[in-house]
Structures are given as C-alpha cells and as structure tokens.
Amino acid sequence: MASPMNGTLIYIIAGEPSGDFLGAHLMSALIVESDKQVQFRGVGGPEMSSQGLTSLFPMSDLSVMGIIEVVPKIPKLLGHVLEVTKDIIDKKPDVVITIDAPDFCFRVTKRLKGKGIPLVHYVAPTVWAWRQGRAAKISKFLDHLLCLFPFEPPYFESEGLSATFIGHPIIETAAIRASGNEFRKAYGIEQDTHVIAVLPGSRIGEITRHLPVFKETMIKLQSTIPNIELISITTAHVAESISKELSGWPIKSTVIEGSCEKYDAMAAANIALAASGTITLELAVVGTPTIVTYQVNALTAFIGKRLVKAKYASLINILLDREIMPEQLFNNCRAEILFPEILNLLQSSEAQKKQTSAFKTAIKMLTPLDGQSPSQKAAQTIIKLIS
C-alpha cells in the first residue's frame, strides 16, 4: 500500500469518454473528501488528466464496442490487461477503482483478487437488461459496486456483493447553468433558426455507421424546413473525423469539442438526434427533446436482439419504463424513418413539452436521498472502504 508519507494512492481505470467523465468527477471529490494527500495512477482520458492523472496508455485503445467489432482488437486489449495488472501489483495502491468497460476492467480485477487490494467497480453491469447471471460472477472478485440507478443494488446484494446507490454524476454537472442563448449569440446563430444537435457517438465505429444516415436525414429535413443549422458535440479523439464529414454537408454546422461549451451547445439546440448512450441522459438534464437511434454490425444486431431483455435503449426510457424519447434502433436507423420522427418533434411543441416534463421526473430518481452529490457519495464510500 502507499506510504503514509505519500498519502493515499488510488488506481483508477476508465475505458471510454463517459467513464473518463465519471472518473474526473470522482477524482475531484476524493481530493476534497480525503483528509490525506491523494495520488492517482491508472488509465483515463482528457477529463481525468485534468485532475492530475497521467494515463498508462491512451484510453482510446480501450474504446471498442460490439461483438464483431472487438475481435480484431483482442490481442492489443489482452496485452493492456497484463500491462495494467503488473503496474497495479508493482505500485500496491490503497484501492483499485474500475469504471464501466467491463470487458477490460473485469479481466484486470479477476487477476487482482486475493492480492490484498480493495477492488471497487463504478457503474454496475446492466444485469437488469441482459445476462443476469453476471451478478453472481462479479461477486466472486469485486469488493464493492457503485451503482448509478436506484433499482440496481438488490441484484448484487442478493449475491453477497456490497453495493451502494450513489446517483448519477451527470446531474451535478453545469447543465443547470447551460445557456443556449449565450451559445447562439457567441456563434452567430439567429434565434429563429432551428438548431439540431446531431450526436453520432464517441467511437470511430459509431461515427462511421451513423453519420451517413444522419446526413441523409438532415438533407431531407432541410428540404422541408430550410432555416436549420447543426451542432455536433464530440470528444478530442474523434473531433477531426466528425468535422471533416460535416464540412461536406450542404448545411451549416458547428462542432464543439470537449466539455467547456458542451451543455450550452445542447441547450442551444431545439431538438437532438443522438446515438444511444450516456449523452441521452445529458440531453435530458439540459432539457433538450431527443430522438434516439443506434446502428451496429448486422450480426451484432441479430445477436443483441436475442440477448437483451430491456424494453428500451435510452436510460430515460428505462427509468420511466415508457418511451419518452422515441427510439429507432438497428434496422430502423434509416433516414426514411428518422426524418418524420425529427420533423414531428421539431414542429410539435406538445411533443417537446411531454419529453421535458418527463425528464424532470427521471432526474429526481437519479438524485441520492441524503442530499449529497453522486461524486461526493462515491468518494465517501471509497474512503470508508479503505479507512
């Protein structure tokens, strides 16, 4: 373990942008909540780097999704598993915190079981959606689980794994201060312009699959409603790819990279077309009506439809157990289906109000009852575990 002279050494691993966001907020809270000097080591992206982490290797190496898509990356991923495991054993941290990315993180934590290091995983596997047997499996090698949703702990506690509902850190972001008007002013967007947020995802594969469909959809929309502009919000490692693609579209667009103006940009949009993921929850926090879609490799879609038990893909829809954000997934991720959905939402104030009203209900469900922020609660849970 870390020497008392050097304070607490926390090893933290994130595998994708949403995990990087969670990790950064957790790191900040750990610094505030700990009465000792806190040091960090591990794997993360730009958000965690801003809190003092030097990543062992680029986090983007781990950002792979899809059953078929991951196969070519397996040798590199397994090499990183061994690299991280060795680094942890060498450094002997006070705790290891893995964030989401279970395919990678659980391979690491399995190798660390029995080494005397507390193992905490942040973001519970979606056993309520598919493969419920995973709850029993992970209880054999994890010490604690931090859950984002109130209905999750019982799945794991019944298998003997200690679990804490901490709430979702997205609710503590600057979304409440988001100013769509300021964003429009700064970028010269007129108030009567219809702004559509086109959000194809944060992985190269997602962008490759979604942008051609989004382009066709937006061109159809422009032919019906000429005064539209597009905003896309993305991360550093895919910003260039998205900017290059959108520059060839016959519609004015603005690409926002990083988190600085992220929520202002979302608030500036009248509606959003978004690939399913954490960003749909962020849009709900800001209050931007959204159409959700997702496309994967045909074989991945075929397998996924037979394995996934959840009725919905969007977190808001899952929380409320009804389709508040319209979902058009897999074979329905086509311009001829998305276009009328987008047009209806853009033109119907009633449809927009129905969404924004439901968003408020869902957000309350993600807030810890004791009044603490999610990151605060997560940090205190970890500190108590290693004290």
- Specify whether 204 is located in the same domain as 343: yes
Q: Please give the distance of CA 81 from its chain centroid, rounded to a whole number.
A: 22
- Specify whether 208 is located in the same domain as 145: no
Name the least confident of 71-75, 175-179, 211-215, 251-255: 71-75
Please report the pLDDT score of residue 71 as a whole number. 56
Q: What is the pLDDT of residues 322-365, one digit of tens each?
A: 999 999 998 899 999 999 999 999 999 999 999 999 999 999 88
- Specify whether 350 is located in the same domain as 253: yes
Q: Which long-range contacts (CB under 8 A, 24 or more apart) does 107-112 make?
A: 107/78, 107/81, 108/13, 108/81, 108/84, 109/141, 109/142, 110/141, 111/81, 111/85, 112/85, 112/88, 112/141
- Specify whether 343 is located in the same domain as 217: yes
One-character DSSP codes across 73-121: GHHHHHHHHHHHHHHHHHH--SEEEEES-HHHHHHHHHHHTTSS--EEE
**Alpha helices (H) along 202-253:** 204-224, 236-246
For residue 224, the 8-state DSSP code is: H
| Domain extent for 248 | 174-365
- Specify whether 218 is located in the same domain as 261: yes
- Specify whether 312 is located in the same domain as 300: yes
- Specify whether 182 is located in the same domain as 132: no
- Specify whether 208 is located in the same domain as 343: yes
- Specify whether 270 is located in the same domain as 212: yes
Number of domains the chain is built from:
2
Please state whether 160 falls in left (phi above 0), alpha (psi between -120 and 50) or beta.
Answer: left
What b/e string do you get for 32-48 counting C-beta neighbours within 10 Å, with b at 16 or more? ebbeeebbbbbbbbbbb
Greater confidence, 258 or 100? Answer: 100
Q: pLDDT band at residue 370, thresholds of 50, 70 and 90?
A: confident
- Specify whether 260 is located in the same domain as 188: yes
Please report the pLDDT score of residue 66 as a whole number. 46
CA pair distance 49, 75, nearest whole angstrom: 26
Residue 306 has pLDDT above 70, yes or no: no
CATH code assigned at 10: 3.40.50.2000
- How distant, in Å, are the alpha carbons of 64, 102, 199, 259 from that of 235? 15, 21, 11, 8
Answer whether 372's CB lies under 8 Å from 380's CB. yes
Q: What is the pLDDT of residues 273-285, one digit of tens each?
A: 999 988 999 999 9
Please report the pLDDT score of residue 302 as a whole number. 55
Instruction: Centre a 10 Å sphere on the Cβ of residue 322 and count the other Cβ atoms it contains.
Output: 11
- Specify whether 49 is located in the same domain as 93: yes
Q: For tokens 């705790």, name the residue.
A: 95
Q: Is the dihedral of CA 93, 97, 77, 107 positive or negative?
A: positive
- Specify whether 244 is located in the same domain as 119: no
Please report the pLDDT score of residue 129 as a whole number. 62
The percentage of residues in the chain with a pLDDT greater than 90, rounded to a whole number, is 69
Please report the pLDDT score of residue 67 as a whole number. 44
Residue 226 has pLDDT above 50, yes or no: yes
Please report the pLDDT score of residue 251 as a whole number. 97
Q: Which long-range contacts (CB under 8 A, 24 or more apart) does 150-158 make?
A: 150/365, 150/366, 152/124, 152/128, 155/124, 155/127, 155/128, 156/124, 156/127
Q: Is the dihedral of CA 148, 153, 159, 160 positive or negative?
A: positive
Q: What is the pLDDT of residues 28-60, one digit of tens each?
A: 999 999 887 899 999 999 999 999 999 999 998
* Residue 41: φ, ψ to 5°: -145, 155
Please report the pLDDT score of residue 5 as a whole number. 39
Answer whether 16's CB lies under 8 Å from 62's CB. yes
In SS3 terms, 301-324 reads as HHHHHHHCCCCCCCHHHHHHCCCC
Residue 105 has pLDDT above 70, yes or no: yes
